[in-house]
Structure 1
């Protein structure tokens, strides 16, 4: 029936929804709808109406509630670039449709978490860690490491990178940060992203990063950006006025601090004493072996060695070229099959999932609302509860790596 019933949508809202979703060109949307671009533009001009089924498809493409299309005028909302930190190479307002959806979903989850916490009478942990660009990256890394409460002894006992990733994620969440994962975004556009919104700031990690060690490094990198934002050393993308050269200095600072958090100075010195090698003579294999001790990526280890004076910039760049060539030859890794509950837990995170389920159990929200918050079908809620009973320190490899 929906195939022939015209939907009395508001033309201006249709155009607004397309542009807000990141589709300046109507061609990709029209292709997914199976219509010509001229027809889509005719709907946006009010010259004709889509069918109800076509409107439902548009709602899925734009990641909007169908009811939005029937509003009398386009809704007002803050620019998306006022929600996230500056990303290298990304012009505010020109994000890909996939990245725009990811940011919107993370914003919606954050707002839901604040609302549900108030409903339940909870106070969300307050993120308090600050960092300044005038400080030594080593000092900031030492301070953040202390705040995360992960001991050197505990790190040495981790069995694999996935156990390390889960523990680092838990430690960051304990600081009052929601850690979400987002799918379908090209790694070249964003490996990670920060929503420096206080309270309840958010760090997002790209699920296309299949290496757990790389996720851990990106997590710490984004944590540094949050600490800089809290100290007013950094602003959201819409208001950031730094030149590209200055911004690269910020990125380098975040890289060095992240590596210092994951590879603390005492542990590094002990490892270097056991492997006495002259500066700039470590090849890919040697750095790889050293990285394995800390459950980090070779690139993170090379960054740390450069900051520690074990690599000159020339030596580091030479090593980096060798590493890039090595990575280019690796076959693409295939992610395992994830159940809907596993995928939800990986993307939404334990604190958010637990908050939603507690609100459901307390009759603060309906099962329908819980499923909407978690992007999960009702019959999978109990399986999600079972997944939550497995501690974050589990050694098994998570299956939330695919899209």
Structure 2
């Protein structure tokens, strides 16, 4: 049988696939078996290679390459990092996620071209020399929001809460033809969670189909909201990025400084912040931050960063806020039981996908321009789940 046919996989390829794969998943017996293959004492067969490919989350075809390749996504080189880069190589979860999103973006780009659509003029329409206020105004115009949008309501809920503001701004971005996807795992594999310490979001730039991906594994709704707006700024700058918010008040580059400042202006305009801050003259710093949080969909630490930038608090007071935020986050991790993304299967699946793009894919399938197989691949669904998802979402 084919499965029993011995294969010749060079030791250099075996070393490489193990180094880029999920090598922590290998037990001592498997590691020993790989050593035997490398030394030529034994040879793997198709079943062995298939099993190892699945376990390492490395493409099956990689085992048959003549020499190792660099499959690091280009966006990984554009990552935002703090003072220490602990992720010199991307995880397979990140690689697979970027690969999936790139395929979706390629499809969306061609769909726009086939439909006779023009390029989106706002992509790359500003640069780091453009004033923060001008960029914020341009973004509000494209998104169709006012400067005090956070005072309003969305689906009968106040927009000053991050859990309401996120879906609202996501919807506004989708209406502007910016694809917004989110997920907390690689594909549909709940055993492969995305690591928020590796990345919180990324932006892939295209003048027809700009795409923003949000890491749903990031527990904080306010963090996901900030990531969304931060990446939207990158779309307007025309700069791809892999975002890992280090939560430091000073950005690591001019581009990141601009993105942080513009995101701050969208979520909490300067004048509105100062007015809110001055209301609590008799309050302590922590009490003031708590009071300001009632008006804006941001975390306490983000408010502390803004307060520091206006010299409303000292560096020492900011560091105290930072320490409290870290303690709270650690406590939440310890107390929160391990769970899935929550909700029903179709609610979860629907929340991952850009609604407008899903509608375009469904239309393309109905018109015979896209195969069902491609539709399943693009949406991480299957023969049964794809039509059921469309039904649940009313598409």
| Matched residue SS, 1:293 | coil
Q: Distance in 1 between matches of 2:120 and 2:36?
A: 49
Q: CA deviation at 1:379?
A: 0.9
CA deviation profile, 1:1-34 (whole Å, cap 9, x unmatched): 88x5447586589649826x823xx843543xx9
Is residue 109 of structure 1 aligned with residue 111 of structure 2? no
The 1:78/1:100 distance shift into structure 2, 3 A limit, reads closer
Counterparts of 2:116 and 2:50 in 1: how far apart (Å)? 37
**In 1, are the aligned partners of 2:308 and 2:318 still within 8 Å (CA)?**
yes
Say whether the 8 Å CA contact 1:84–1:196 is kept in structure 2.
no
1:86 equivalent in structure 2: 79
Contact 1:181 1:206 in 2 (8 A): yes
Distance 2:260 2:372 in 1: 42
The Cα offsets for residues 228-272 of structure 1, whole Å up to 9 and x where unpaired, read as 4x2xxx6778xxxxxxx9835543443232121111345435534
Are residues 314 and 339 of structure 1, via their aligned partners in 2, closer, same or farther at CA, if it must alter by over 3 Å?
same
Could you say which residue in structure 2 is the equivalent of 1:40? 34
- TM-score, normalised on structure 2? 0.76
1:188 deviates by 1.7
Matches for 1:302-381 after TM superposition, within 5 Å: 302-330=304-332, 331-332=335-336, 334=339, 337-381=342-386
Tell me the equivalent position of 1:172.
173
CA RMSD of the aligned region, Å?
Answer: 3.8
* Structure-1 residue corresponding to 2:247: none
8 Å CA contact 1:256, 1:307 repeated in 2: no
Name the residue aligned to 1:99: 94
Q: Normalising by structure 1, what TM-score?
A: 0.74
Residue 181 of structure 1 is matched in structure 2 by: 182
Q: Give 2:51's aligned residue.
A: 57
CA contact (8 A) 1:161 1:295 kept: yes
Matched, 1:22 2:16: no
Distance 1:189 1:69, change over 3 A: closer
Q: Check if 1:212 corresponds to 2:221.
A: yes
Q: Deviations over 1:349-390 (max 9, x none)?
A: 223322222221111222222111111122112231134339
Displacement, 1:118?
4.2
Q: Check 1:202–1:13 CA distance in 2 against 1; reply closer, same or farther (3 A cut).
A: farther
1:291 match: 293
Q: Secondary structure at the match of 2:180?
A: strand
Does the CA contact (< 8 Å) of 1:262 and 1:294 recur in 2? yes
Q: CA deviation at 1:218?
A: 1.0
Cα distance in 2 for partners of 1:35, 1:97 equals 22
* Distance verdict in 2 for CA 1:115–1:138, change over 3 Å: closer
Q: What are the ranges of 5 or more consecutive residues in structure 2 without an aligned counterpart?
A: 186-192, 243-249
CA 1:235/1:215 → structure 2, altered by over 3 Å: closer, same or farther? closer
Equivalent residues of 2:376, 2:382 under 8 A apart: yes
Contact 2:132 2:262 survives alignment (8 Å):
yes
Equivalenced residues, count: 369
Is residue 180–residue 203 contact of structure 1 (8 Å, CA) maintained in 2?
Answer: yes
